[in-house]
């Protein structure tokens, strides 16, 4: 906060804490501030370094502390820093952690929704997964819809395929869908929040009879809860310019369109039920 100074010895009223490069201590201190009360603490680093902080992040969930983890540089598009900085498996880690909200917004509307949701969640910590690169503001996005956790961001009258995605890949899916004409795109910035919606609403987003392809530049583990087919990165990343890596790993609009057409062809003659109908 630019209008405040640093918290330090003899200056305890200040609100900025310079934690240094020590992710576990940073997160643990935020737990302590939250437990003390009166403040909503947040801390920030690259998403990949949640690996160092993870013990304290788990404690946030266990202790029901509503800490905001504002983590950035969330994918392969980080580029030249290479696989040590590219959180291929971290989405799955966060989504598998009980009492933790993982929010990966696709644009400014969804980012605002993530902040609103996180500030309201006083008994549950939130990990916000934000990009390094700029993203376009999407025509079909809104704060209201993003607060449902998942929604239709691009639609067509009779979809042959549903692309379901998060974060920076949503705009890529929308661009691919516009080239095809019969593809619906669903943005799911927060699985945990989407799963809390009524079955009727969720099936209006992911109905029976339409195959679903998930697209996310990370491990595909977990997408089987929504998608019949998944495209992602089940290996470590690479070092190189972000645009080159996007092409190498197959996340350009024309590459997603090609994969979509293959799924549409594969789906012919098959019956698809919504994967949301589960007994528990």
Could you list the active site residues? 23
- The residue behind tokens 């009166």 is 38
Half-sphere exposure of 69 (CA within 13 A, CB side): 35
What are the two backbone dihedrals, phi and then psi, of residue 43, each rounded to the nearest 5 degrees?
Answer: -140, 165
115: part of which helix (H) or strand (E)?
helix 108-120
Q: Strand 183-187: give its sheet, edge to edge.
A: 151-154, 183-187, 161-165, 212-215, 229-231
197 exposure class (CB count in 10 Å sphere: 0-12, 13-18, 19+): middle
CA distance 227 to 34: 37
């Amino acid at each position: 906060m630019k209008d405040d100074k640093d918290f330090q010895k003899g200056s305890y009223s200040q609100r900025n804490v310079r934690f240094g490069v020590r992710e576990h201590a940073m997160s643990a201190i935020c737990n302590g501030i939250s437990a003390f009360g009166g403040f909503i603490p947040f801390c920030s680093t690259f998403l990949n370094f949640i690996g160092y902080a993870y013990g304290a992040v788990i404690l946030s969930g266990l202790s029901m502390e509503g800490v905001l983890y504002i983590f950035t540089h969330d994918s392969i598009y980080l580029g030249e820093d290479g696989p040590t900085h590219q959180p291929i498996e971290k989405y799955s880690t966060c989504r598998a952690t009980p009492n933790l909200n993982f929010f990966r917004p696709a644009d400014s509307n969804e980012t605002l929704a993530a902040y609103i949701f996180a500030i309201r969640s006083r008994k549950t910590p939130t990990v916000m997964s934000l990009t390094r690169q700029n993203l376009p503001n999407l025509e079909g996005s809104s704060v209201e819809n993003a607060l449902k956790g998942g929604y239709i961001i691009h639609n067509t009258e009779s979809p042959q395929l549903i692309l379901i995605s998060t974060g920076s890949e949503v705009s890529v899916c929308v661009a691919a869908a516009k080239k095809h004409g019969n593809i619906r795109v669903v943005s799911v910035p927060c699985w945990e929040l989407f799963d809390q919606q009524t079955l009727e609403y969720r099936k209006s987003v992911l109905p029976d009879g339409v195959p679903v392809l998930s697209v996310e530049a990370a491990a595909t583990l977990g997408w089987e809860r929504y998608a019949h087919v998944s495209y992602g990165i089940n290996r470590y990343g690479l070092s190189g310019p972000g645009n080159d890596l996007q092409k190498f790993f197959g996340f350009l609009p024309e590459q997603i369109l090609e994969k979509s057409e293959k799924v549409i062809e594969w789906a012919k003659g098959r019956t698809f039920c919504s994967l949301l109908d589960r007994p528990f």
